[in-house]
């Protein structure tokens, strides 16, 4: 498919005598159709040049001396034109921005097909197919400038894939991606390979291609030094890879390269050197950073990790003073202002070209005179692999060389805090180690360093601490010891839990208005018009008052005109009220439908979330968001939004009237109102947005703890405790009180200042009137104007007061929408595009490792076992050993971070949710029944079952005695105002539900844990009936229940330590034998003495 026949190439230009060194020398290479081949080697070895030959950029765009022959398919590159080559080979560049020609994603994906003259209908069909196969439907019709780096890379791949080339070349596609985006890139490459595409990839980061690449071609100095099959290169040790300038080839190698930093942890001072308190930064009323408190010890090298958009780079920009933020930064106990931060901290940016200013490489290091000598600068360049480039212009360097030059400049600055943003982007193995060494050395001269990075290889070579930032907040700050490595591994193995909204605040809220969105525009227009009508009576009063004063001064009363002005005032007032009523009617209709849509969307999305989501987000918190936050949103849309527009229009017209009637009185009054408005703005700033967030956070936490308190009220009553004796509930109430008071006190100065100034209008009005009267020629006319201001000034104060409260309600609505979005944007489990049905009931765990979202260490590690169809597998072990975790993963309550779970030979993520639920029945340790009839509760196992089938399932589950003692039998309602069942009876109803479901796989999680002897006997009969012919996974502590299992897996600290039948495990005399002995002793316990009363 791709053939290089003795190819050599030297780029044109560079050396005057024309003796340019060849970029490639005597290359012989062949790739078969459907192969995925990786070109690897040190920077400058010729990888990119080979790709440019395949896609035709060499020799048609990059001129030079080319020898030998290159063919791609049936196309001879030297003879064919670029359009002819483009029809065969598609390209994905390292920086996708360099290949975009459109502003929207759909247009960009269609661009290649347009150039190939593909018919319009075929293009539309191909776009839909591409979006579906590559799982990028959510990226269609998006603004390219709003995409993250990973999303841009996906669009670049989609653009190439849509044009259906036979060959795809990719130049370091992972260099600027985070771990989640790399996993998506893996899926893209795997999809292309499965369709028979020939893929040629130039790459430094190799581990993500472990299960994809067929061959690896190692280049050195423009020649092919070696070729490896996938198995051959995977057999190389990390040391052998490093000798060839290569980075880790297997994912597991990433976590085996921990290098102690020069400054050992024991040598680091325990006292904090860098202290951050209340650091906050917002963009367009949206809070990006909210760092409450962070203390970093002297000598630490902190790796800042987190998903794209979490606020990591923003945090670095704030610390170096490039972004103005709120909060306190202390260095060695001294508070440093924003202006002084650039003198204390230096940032190496992700885009090195943004901070290279000199006309030579050496000149960059010498810009800060006095910090480094020329000799020292040359030594630094040599250390960074830039020797011999001292006189080159920085703009002529490659991306990797520019990155190393920026690092060299940082090494020469001698700042107390060093900040690095993705310092190893596009670096090979040698330069990665060189960069890690440089960061450690720079930290010797500085007092602490922070690096924003997604590269675990760099972190493990030089970091001492991990700082995990999620959604602008600190989620974890931890030492990089064994516990820290496990935590980092977990974070890098997770996908982001939330989607990113295209809009925020009120525009995001209005997306849920649907066809009623136009009503809000109508409402605002009518509210503005209503405010004008309601201002008109003030003018009518002014003109009527003027007529009255003229009459009092001897000019005669014109009662007709006065009556007319009074009638007009009444008409305007009534019209204004009528128009305002219609405005509120429109806003209420739109608001009610918006609230309904929000609640329906939230509930619909929650129904698609896995069980693990509800472990992290308790019911009290979710109820508060769905009920209270949506109600706040409705209140703002229905009342405050039209009122705010009306008040703003009234204020603008009012200011005009103040100056138009008499500017001598109006101007001082206007200045007073502007001063009060300034006080009002202090209440609506970013600081109070932060307090609003804290206030609602505390309210959510208090609601959650209140729900838990009510659920546990029986225990509290038994032990005679009060609400205040429950520490978490008490702390939640106290926190809510403190945050409510803090919010109030934050508004105090602005609110008091506003009310003091706005109500002091007469202190300005009377002196202004007295001064104006002395310069007025017509005292009667001036008196009329003065009376107008006496009436109108309080009305203006009322309008300003309304604006203040409306703005506060707007802050609440924006914060409420953000909280509702925490539900709506939470990622549900990905469903397969081409679902596969399991062939049988086999269950297979292959190297499964899982960490709970709220955990730091794996709950289970490297679990491997097979449960064949129709067999029983028992999981035993002490509490916390991982038994229930394994059981919960089978119905896909959670997704694993590592490994694969298969049912009937099909991975869980390829089975449709509905199909999986039909395959698995789950009997929980503590089952729940709905407040419904017993018939409806049992029918939950099969909604189509008739009453006879339900009665049969109840009979098989030994529920006959339960139905007989209830007055309404199967029609008895469970719960409040109904019947109550014991724990064992509830368990039997749950078993009846599972029998009715008749799923081929059955998971039993301590199904008899709380049963008494009588109930247990009945439960065992019911379970025996339930297990017939099914694949059973049984979690048990009572070892007597697992003696007949086909295999027993003994769990300890998240791993399987023993496996076999009951008899074989007893023969081993290991962990299971010890547990069996302890169990037999426990069931023989008895009281040997009487209990005597005191």
Q: What is the pLDDT of residue 71?
A: 95
**pLDDT digits 0-9 by tens, 750-807:** 778 777 777 776 677 777 777 666 666 666 677 777 777 777 777 777 777 777 777 7
Q: Does the pLDDT at position 14 exceed 50?
A: no
Q: Does the pLDDT at position 271 exceed 70?
A: no
Q: 90-94, 242-246, 411-415, 685-689 — which is least confidently predicted?
A: 685-689
Q: Does the pLDDT at position 16 exceed 50?
A: no
Using DSSP's 3-state secondary structure scheme, residue 694 falls into helix
Q: What is the pLDDT of residue 266?
A: 47
Tell which wins on pLDDT, 400 or 295.
Answer: 295
**pLDDT digits 0-9 by tens, 958-968:** 888 888 888 88
Tell which wins on pLDDT, 377 or 1049.
Answer: 1049
Average pLDDT in the 561-569 region?
A: 84
Q: Does the pLDDT at position 294 exceed 90?
A: yes
Burial class (CB in 10 A: 0-12, 13-18, 19+), 390: middle
Q: 395-399, 478-482, 697-701, 916-920 — which is least confidently predicted?
A: 395-399
- Alpha helices in 898-1008, H assignment, sequence order: 913-919, 934-939, 947-956, 960-965, 983-997
Q: What is the pLDDT of residue 552?
A: 67
Q: 534-548, 572-586, 590-604 — which is least confidently predicted?
A: 534-548
Angle at 277 between CA 276 and CA 279, to 5 degrees: 85
**pLDDT digits 0-9 by tens, 308-358:** 778 888 899 999 998 888 889 999 889 998 889 988 898 988 777 778 888
CB-facing half-sphere around the CA of 705: CA atoms within 13 A: 20
Burial class (CB in 10 A: 0-12, 13-18, 19+), 159: buried
Cα 892 to Cα 413: distance, rounded to the nearest angstrom:
52
Q: Does the pLDDT at position 1003 exceed 50?
A: yes
Identify the CA nearest to 582 among candidates 247, 662, 574: 574
Beta strands in 515-565 (DSSP E): none
For residue 676, what are the CA distances in angstroms to 80, 671, 686, 754, 861? 74, 9, 19, 5, 63
When pLDDT is cut at 50, 70 and 90, the band that residue 272 belongs to is confident
pTM of the model: 0.72
Q: What is the pLDDT of residue 191?
A: 87
Q: 256-270, 371-385, 737-751, 899-913 — which is least confidently predicted?
A: 256-270
Tell which wins on pLDDT, 659 or 167.
Answer: 167
CATH number of 265-493: 3.40.50.300
Q: What is the pLDDT of residue 138?
A: 79
Matching fold, domains 505-824 and 843-1083: no
Please, are residues 1021 and 958 in contact by the beta-carbon 8 Å criterion?
Answer: yes
Please, are residues 649 and 595 in contact by the beta-carbon 8 Å criterion?
Answer: no
Using DSSP's 3-state secondary structure scheme, residue 513 falls into coil
**pLDDT digits 0-9 by tens, 163-208:** 889 999 999 888 777 788 888 888 889 888 999 999 999 999 899 9
Question: What's the per-residue H, E or C state across 106-165?
Answer: HHHHHHHHHHCCCCHHHHHHHHHHHHHHCCCHHHCCCEHHHCCHHHHHHHHHHHHHHCCC
- 695-698 CB contacts, 8 Å cutoff, 24+ apart: 695/736, 695/739, 695/740, 695/742, 695/743, 696/629, 696/815, 696/816, 696/819, 697/739, 698/732, 698/735, 698/736, 698/738, 698/739, 698/740
Q: 9-18, 77-86, 738-747, 893-902 — which is least confidently predicted?
A: 9-18
Whether cis (ω within 30° of 0) applies to the bond prior to 59 is yes
Tell which wins on pLDDT, 232 or 804.
Answer: 232
Q: Does the pLDDT at position 10 exceed 60?
A: yes
Helix 149-162 and helix 179-194: axis angle, to 10°? 10
Q: What is the pLDDT of residue 501?
A: 72
When pLDDT is cut at 50, 70 and 90, the band that residue 1008 belongs to is low
Residue found by looking up tokens 């709120």 in the block: 326
Average pLDDT in the 462-483 region?
A: 90
When pLDDT is cut at 50, 70 and 90, the band that residue 468 belongs to is very high
Q: Does the pLDDT at position 445 exceed 90?
A: no
DSSP 352: G
For residue 735, what are the CA distances in angstroms to 499, 686, 710, 741, 814? 30, 21, 19, 10, 22
When pLDDT is cut at 50, 70 and 90, the band that residue 507 belongs to is confident
Tell which wins on pLDDT, 792 or 525.
Answer: 525
Q: Does the pLDDT at position 249 exceed 80?
A: yes
Q: Does the pLDDT at position 268 exceed 90?
A: no
Cα 626 to Cα 593: distance, rounded to the nearest angstrom:
15
Cα 198 to Cα 866: distance, rounded to the nearest angstrom:
36
The yes/no answer on whether domain 505-824 falls in CATH 3.40.190.10 is: no
Tell which wins on pLDDT, 846 or 727.
Answer: 846
Please, are residues 838 and 905 in contact by the beta-carbon 8 Å criterion?
Answer: yes
Please, are residues 464 and 480 in contact by the beta-carbon 8 Å criterion?
Answer: yes
Structural tokens at position 584: 């509120």
* All residues at 6 or more sequence positions from 66 whose CB lies less than 8 Å from its CB, including other chains: 7, 8, 9, 58, 59, 78
Q: 182-191, 282-291, 553-562, 843-852 — which is least confidently predicted?
A: 553-562
Average pLDDT in the 914-936 region?
A: 85
* All residues at 6 or more sequence positions from 363 whose CB lies less than 8 Å from its CB, including other chains: none
For residue 942, what are the CA distances in angstroms to 841, 918, 935, 952, 1023? 19, 9, 11, 13, 18
When pLDDT is cut at 50, 70 and 90, the band that residue 717 belongs to is low
Using DSSP's 3-state secondary structure scheme, residue 1070 falls into coil
Cα 659 to Cα 527: distance, rounded to the nearest angstrom:
24
Tell which wins on pLDDT, 660 or 416.
Answer: 416
Identify the CA nearest to 153 among candidates 210, 83, 208: 208
Q: What is the pLDDT of residue 865?
A: 95
Please, are residues 1033 and 1046 in contact by the beta-carbon 8 Å criterion?
Answer: no
- 941-949 CB contacts, 8 Å cutoff, 24+ apart: 941/992, 941/993, 941/994, 941/995, 941/996, 941/997, 941/998, 942/996, 942/997, 942/998, 945/996, 949/996
Q: Does the pLDDT at position 112 exceed 80?
A: yes
Residue found by looking up tokens 């109070």 in the block: 688
Q: Does the pLDDT at position 596 exceed 90?
A: yes
* Residues of the chain by 3-state class (helix, strand, coil), percent to 5: 55, 15, 30
CATH number of 843-1083: 3.40.50.300
Burial class (CB in 10 A: 0-12, 13-18, 19+), 370: exposed
Q: What is the pLDDT of residue 1013?
A: 62
Q: What is the pLDDT of residue 574?
A: 93
Identify the CA nearest to 103 among candidates 156, 148, 142: 142
Q: Does the pLDDT at position 217 exceed 90?
A: yes
Q: What percent of the chain has pLDDT over 90?
A: 25
Q: Does the pLDDT at position 365 exceed 90?
A: no
Question: What integer best gives the mean pLDDT of the chain?
Answer: 83
When pLDDT is cut at 50, 70 and 90, the band that residue 20 belongs to is low
Angle at 419 between CA 414 and CA 420, to 5 degrees: 115
When pLDDT is cut at 50, 70 and 90, the band that residue 1004 belongs to is confident
Q: What is the pLDDT of residue 284?
A: 61
Cα 285 to Cα 927: distance, rounded to the nearest angstrom:
45
Q: What is the pLDDT of residue 578?
A: 94
Phi, psi of 798 (to 5 degrees): -65, -40
Name the residue ranges covered by the structural domains of the chain: 95-164, 265-493, 505-824, 843-1083
Q: What is the pLDDT of residue 69?
A: 94
Average pLDDT in the 3-24 region?
A: 75
Please, are residues 787 and 823 in contact by the beta-carbon 8 Å criterion?
Answer: no
Strand ranges across the sheet with 167-171: 89-92, 167-171, 198-202, 36-41, 215-220, 223-229
Q: What is the pLDDT of residue 132?
A: 83
Please, are residues 48 and 42 in contact by the beta-carbon 8 Å criterion?
Answer: no
Please, are residues 390 and 397 in contact by the beta-carbon 8 Å criterion?
Answer: no
Q: Does the pLDDT at position 634 exceed 80?
A: yes
Q: Does the pLDDT at position 987 exceed 90?
A: no
Q: What is the pLDDT of residue 408?
A: 85
Q: What is the pLDDT of residue 852?
A: 85
């Amino acid at each position: 498919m791709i053939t290089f026949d003795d190819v050599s190439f030297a780029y044109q230009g560079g050396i005057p005598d024309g003796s340019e060194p060849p970029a490639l020398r005597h290359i012989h290479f062949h790739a078969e159709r459907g192969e995925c081949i990786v070109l690897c080697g040190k920077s400058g070895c010729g990888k990119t040049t080979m790709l440019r030959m395949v896609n035709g950029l060499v020799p048609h765009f990059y001129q030079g001396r080319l020898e030998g022959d290159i063919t791609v398919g049936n196309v001879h590159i030297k003879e064919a034109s670029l359009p002819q080559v483009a029809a065969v080979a598609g390209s994905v560049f390292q920086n996708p921005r360099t290949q975009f020609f459109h502003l929207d994603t759909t247009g960009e994906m269609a661009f290649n097909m347009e150039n190939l003259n593909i018919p319009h209908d075929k293009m539309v069909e191909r776009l839909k197919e591409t979006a579906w196969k590559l799982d990028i439907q959510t990226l269609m019709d998006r603004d390219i400038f709003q995409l993250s780096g990973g999303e841009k890379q996906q669009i670049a791949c989609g653009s190439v894939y849509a044009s259906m080339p036979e060959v795809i070349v990719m130049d370091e596609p992972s260099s600027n991606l985070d771990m989640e985006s790399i996993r998506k890139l893996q899926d893209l490459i795997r999809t292309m390979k499965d369709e028979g595409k020939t893929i040629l990839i130039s790459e430094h980061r190799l581990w993500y291609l472990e299960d994809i690449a067929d061959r690896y071609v190692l280049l050195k100095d423009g020649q092919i030094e070696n070729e490896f099959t996938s198995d051959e290169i995977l057999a190389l040790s990390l040391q052998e890879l490093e000798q060839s300038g290569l980075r880790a080839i297997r994912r597991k190698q990433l976590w085996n390269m921990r290098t102690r930093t020069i400054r050992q942890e024991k040598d680091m001072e325990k006292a904090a050197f860098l202290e951050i308190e209340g650091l906050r930064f917002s963009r367009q009323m949206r809070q990006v950073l909210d760092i409450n408190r962070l203390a970093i010890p002297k000598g630490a090298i902190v790796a800042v990790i987190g998903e794209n958009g979490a606020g990591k780079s923003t945090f670095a920009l704030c610390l170096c003073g490039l972004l103005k933020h709120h909060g306190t930064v202390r260095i060695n106990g001294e508070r440093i202002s924003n202006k002084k931060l650039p003198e204390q901290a230096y940032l190496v940016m992700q885009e090195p070209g943004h901070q290279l200013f000199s006309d030579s490489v050496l000149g960059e290091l010498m810009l800060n005179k006095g910090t480094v000598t020329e000799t020292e600068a040359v030594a630094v360049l040599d250390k960074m692999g830039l020797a011999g480039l001292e006189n080159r212009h920085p703009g002529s360097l490659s991306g990797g060389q520019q990155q190393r030059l920026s690092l060299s400049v940082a090494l020469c600055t001698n700042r107390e805090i060093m900040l690095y943003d993705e310092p190893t982007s596009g670096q090979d193995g040698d330069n990665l180690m060189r960069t890690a060494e440089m960061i450690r050395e720079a930290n010797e001269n500085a007092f602490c360093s922070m690096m924003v990075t997604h590269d675990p290889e760099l972190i493990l070579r030089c970091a001492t601490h991990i700082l995990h930032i999620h959604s602008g907040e600190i989620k974890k700050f931890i030492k990089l010891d064994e516990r820290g490595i496990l935590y980092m591994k977990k974070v890098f193995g997770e996908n982001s839990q939330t989607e990113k909204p295209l809009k925020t605040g009120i525009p995001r809220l209005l997306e849920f208005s649907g066809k009623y969105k136009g009503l809000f525009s109508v409402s605002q227009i009518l509210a503005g018009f209503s405010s004008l009508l309601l201002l008109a009576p003030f003018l009518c009063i002014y003109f009527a008052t003027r007529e009255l004063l003229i009459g009092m001064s001897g000019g005669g009363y014109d009662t007709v005109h006065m009556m007319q002005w009074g009638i007009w005032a009444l008409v305007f007032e009534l019209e204004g009220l009528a128009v305002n009523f219609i405005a509120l009617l429109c806003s209420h209709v739109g608001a009610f439908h918006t609230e309904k849509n929000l609640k329906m969307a939230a509930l619909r999305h929650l129904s698609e979330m896995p069980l693990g989501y509800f472990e992290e987000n308790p019911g009290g918190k979710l109820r508060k968001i769905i009920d209270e936050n949506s109600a706040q949103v409705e209140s703002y849309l229905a009342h405050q939004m039209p009122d705010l527009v009306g008040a703003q229009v009234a204020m603008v017209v009012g200011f005009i009237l103040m100056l138009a009637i008499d500017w001598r009185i109006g101007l001082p009054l206007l200045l007073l109102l502007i001063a009060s408005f300034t006080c009002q703005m202090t209440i609506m700033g970013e600081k109070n947005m932060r307090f609003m967030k804290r206030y609602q956070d505390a309210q959510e936490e208090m609601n959650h703890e209140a729900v838990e308190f009510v659920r546990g009220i029986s225990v509290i009553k038994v032990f005679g405790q009060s609400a205040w004796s429950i520490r978490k509930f008490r702390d939640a109430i106290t926190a809510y009180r403190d945050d409510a008071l803090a919010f109030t006190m934050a508004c105090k100065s602005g609110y008091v200042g506003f009310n003091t100034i706005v109500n002091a209008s007469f202190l300005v009005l009377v002196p202004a009137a007295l001064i104006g009267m002395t310069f007025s020629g017509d005292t009667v006319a001036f008196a009329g104007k003065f009376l107008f201001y006496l009436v109108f000034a309080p009305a203006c104060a009322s309008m300003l007061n309304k604006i203040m409260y409306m703005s506060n309600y707007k802050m609440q609505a924006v914060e409420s929408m953000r909280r509702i979005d925490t539900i709506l944007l939470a990622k549900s489990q990905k469903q397969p595009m081409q679902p596969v049905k399991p062939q049988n009931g086999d269950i297979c765990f292959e190297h499964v490792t899982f960490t709970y979202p709220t955990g730091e260490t794996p709950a289970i590690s490297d679990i491997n076992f097979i449960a064949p169809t129709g067999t029983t597998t028992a999981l035993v072990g002490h509490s916390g050993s991982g038994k229930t975790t394994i059981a919960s993963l089978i119905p896909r309550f959670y997704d694993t971070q590592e490994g694969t779970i298969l049912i009937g030979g099909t991975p869980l993520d390829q089975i449709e949710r509905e199909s999986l639920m039909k395959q698995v029945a789950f009997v929980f340790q503590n089952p729940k029944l709905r407040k419904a009839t017993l018939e409806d509760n049992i029918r939950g196992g099969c909604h189509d079952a008739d009453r006879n089938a339900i009665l049969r399932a109840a009979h098989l589950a030994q529920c006959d005695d339960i139905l007989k003692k209830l007055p309404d039998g199967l029609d008895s309602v469970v719960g409040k105002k109904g019947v109550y069942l014991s724990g064992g009876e509830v368990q039997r109803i749950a078993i009846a539900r599972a029998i009715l479901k008749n799923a081929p796989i059955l998971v039993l999680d301590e199904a008899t844990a709380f049963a008494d002897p009588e109930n247990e006997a009945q439960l065992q009969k019911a379970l025996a009936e339930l297990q017939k012919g099914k694949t059973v996974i049984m979690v048990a502590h009572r070892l007597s229940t697992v003696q007949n299992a086909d295999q027993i897996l003994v769990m300890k600290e998240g791993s399987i330590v023993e496996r076999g039948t009951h008899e074989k495990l007893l023969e081993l005399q290991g962990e299971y034998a010890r547990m069996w002995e302890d169990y037999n002793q426990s069931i023989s316990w008895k009281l040997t003495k009487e209990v005597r009363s005191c």
